[in-house]
Chains A and B, each alone.
Chain A
Amino acid sequence: MSSTQISTSLAVSENGFLFLPTTGETFTVNETGRFILRRLQEGREQQEIISSLIDEFDVEPVDAQRDVLDFIGQLRQYHLTDTQ
């Protein structure tokens, strides 16, 4: 699986508050969402993120897999990913 490029300028606070300086848009994200976002920003592979999510949280692998894909879909919907 490939990695997803997150807009490099996206600022994510510890509170789960997101600010995209290029557009001025703000977002809120929950704990698991922040967990995934941070790892995407670090350039981690999708599969690696899913594994670390399963290690850290009480979640079934099949749910983690589906939810990470869905979350990346949400990021794409908000144009927070750099399409390459």
Chain B
Amino acid sequence: MDKKKYERPVILKQQSGLMNKFGSATSTQPMTDIEGVPVAELAAAYGSPLFVLSEKKMRDTQQQCQRIFRSRYPKVQFAWSYKTNYMNAVCSIFHSEGSWAEVVSEFEFDRARHLGVRGEHIIFNGPAKSAAALEKAVRAHSKIHIDHFDELYELIEITTSLGLKADVAIRVNVDVGIYPKWDRFGFNYENGEAREALKRIAASKTLRIVGLHMHIGTYIMSTEPFRVAVSKLVALANWLKQQLAIDLDYIDVGGGLPSHNTLKGQYLQADETLPALEQFADAITAPLFELESHGDAMPTLILESGRALVDGAGYLISTVLAVKRLSDGKRAYVIDAGINLLFTSLWYKHKMVPAQPTGVMREQANIYGPLCMNIDCIQEDASVPALKKGDRVVLMNVGAYTMTQWMQFITFRPAIVLITADGSPHVIRKAESLEYVMSLEEIPPSLRSLSA
């Protein structure tokens, strides 16, 4: 006789406001495979925890974004935000979709060059570009987005001494009525600083103003700030045209579009409250038509989206290490992926789905990572079906700012697997080993005997 399907025994006390377990059927739908590859096979072959990326999802999202923006504005160029995810394979996918590179350090600049990105297709942002990095960028004819006056003067010095010209834009910070205000980056619009910077550049013999750049923040949840910011950039572009007779090649509106993660402290799910991408595109493109004549050509609209393009393509497979009860009776799980891999769980409620069938009974549970640190909590009060030691789970929407912000702390960083468009898994970054981690270390001779 076949035995009955087992579910860990659970008893729940009914409390007002917590008596609703209905409609949870879909969330107990396990995620048994990612792009057709069984989670169990992935974990068996490459270990747990394991980051998994979907090439198809990245391409689909990028192509959809391009369609949405190109149907609203004639000239659109995406520039892949390296800091969001600079794995070579990931960058290669976005470059093959036609994206330029948007980098914020010499390290990222070198990565882009290593991948064969043409110099003029690199946008160099950030508040901390070294003299050596600036020189590289000038020689490569990259587009340098100047953040502050010290950088402006340094760049004039470098180009003059090299006898080369540089294509530049300034980063402009504008008040769009949201908090936090990102006024630490770039030149301020409202107080006239941006105009001063542009005048100074126009007066230089080596710098050519080709664009204006902004980046109003991250995970912007409404469209209005974009409309306000782009309107102000357009006003600045029109001033440039009138006062200095400069036609711009492009207007770069940066990134900041949200992904499908729900923020902590947000009552409704992101999918319910976030405007659609089309609405963001409307807010961004509409003010561009207020640009005064730029000869025949409208300037190119550049977008530096990262999070919105890659977050949904990333998954983290993890394994339940322990099922515990806390002192007050509350359920808690220890899983093998923690804040060392998901820095983003500090502000996101990453959705966690079991990778194998479970029962329908759900408990409120805390999800802890494997570190012996109190801060290592992926989520408090998540509603999860009864899991047992050894069960696999999949954390969703983890493609952005995880593989670049992860820490090598206490243990190794795991492998990253890309499921390519043909549905086959490929390791794009190996799991770290002791040899790799220690390869940069040295022990002074006087201490060597101690380690024997």
Contacts and interface: CB of A to CB of B under 8 A. Distances in A.
Any A–B CB pair closer than 8 Å: yes
Contacts of A70: 8-9, 323, 325
B14 A26 contact: yes
A32 B359 CA distance: 11
B4 A29 contact: no
A37 B9 CA distance: 10
B13 A78 contact: yes
A27 B21 CA distance: 13
B388 A28 contact: no
Interface string B297-315: 0000000000000000000
B3 interface: yes
B7 interface: yes
A54 to B, nearest CB: 9
A36 B10 CA distance: 10
A33 interface: yes
A58 B13 contact: no
A27 B14 contact: yes
A25 interface: yes
A71 B7 CA distance: 12
A35 B7 CA distance: 11
A42 interface: no
B14 A28 contact: yes
Interface in A6-48: 18, 25-33, 35-37
Contact of B11 (A58, A59, A78): A78
Interface string B21-37: 10000000000000000
Given A30-B361, A63-B388, A77-B329, A71 B11 contact: yes
A51 interface: no
A32 B14 CA distance: 18
Contacts of A37: 11
Interface string B91-105: 000000000000000
Contacts of A67: 8-9, 388
Contacts of B6: 32, 57-59, 63
Q: How large is the interface on B (under 10, 10 to 19, 20 to 34, 35 or more residues)?
A: 20 to 34
Contacts of B448: none
Nearest to A26: B14
Looking at chain A's contact residues, the main secondary structure is helix
Contacts of A59: 3, 6
Interface in B114-165: none
Looking at chain B's contact residues, the main secondary structure is loop
A36 B361 CA distance: 16
A33 B4 contact: no
A11 to B, nearest CB: 14
Interface string B374-406: 000000000000101000000000000000000
Contacts of B323: 70
Contacts of B184: none
Given A27-B12, A30-B361, A74 B4 contact: no
Contacts of A77: 325, 329
A58 B4 contact: yes
Interface string A50-84: 00000111110001000110110111011010000
A70 B359 CA distance: 17
B4 A75 contact: no
Given A74-B329, A78-B13, A30 B7 contact: yes
B7 A32 contact: yes
A28 B11 contact: yes
B17 to A, nearest CB: 14
Given A58-B3, A70-B325, A77-B329, A27 B9 contact: no
Contacts of A26: 13-14
Contacts of B12: 27-29
Contacts of B10: 29-30, 33, 71, 74
A75 B3 contact: no
Given A18-B11, A28-B14, A29-B10, A73 B325 contact: yes
B101 to A, nearest CB: 51
A29 B11 contact: yes
Interface of B: 2-14, 21, 323, 325, 329, 359, 361, 386, 388
Given A30-B359, A74-B325, A74-B329, 14 more contacts: A25-B13, A26-B13, A28-B14, A29-B9, A29-B12, A31-B359, A37-B11, A57-B3, A57-B6, A58-B3, A58-B5, A70-B325, A77-B325, A78-B329
24 contacts: A25-B13, A27-B14, A28-B11, A28-B14, A28-B21, A29-B10, A29-B11, A31-B7, A31-B359, A33-B9, A55-B3, A58-B2, A63-B388, A67-B9, A67-B388, A68-B9, A70-B8, A71-B11, A73-B325, A74-B10, A74-B11, A75-B11, A77-B329, A78-B11
Closest A-B pairs by Cβ, 10 of them = A77-B329, A33-B9, A59-B6, A57-B6, A58-B3, A71-B9, A32-B9, A30-B361, A29-B11, A26-B14
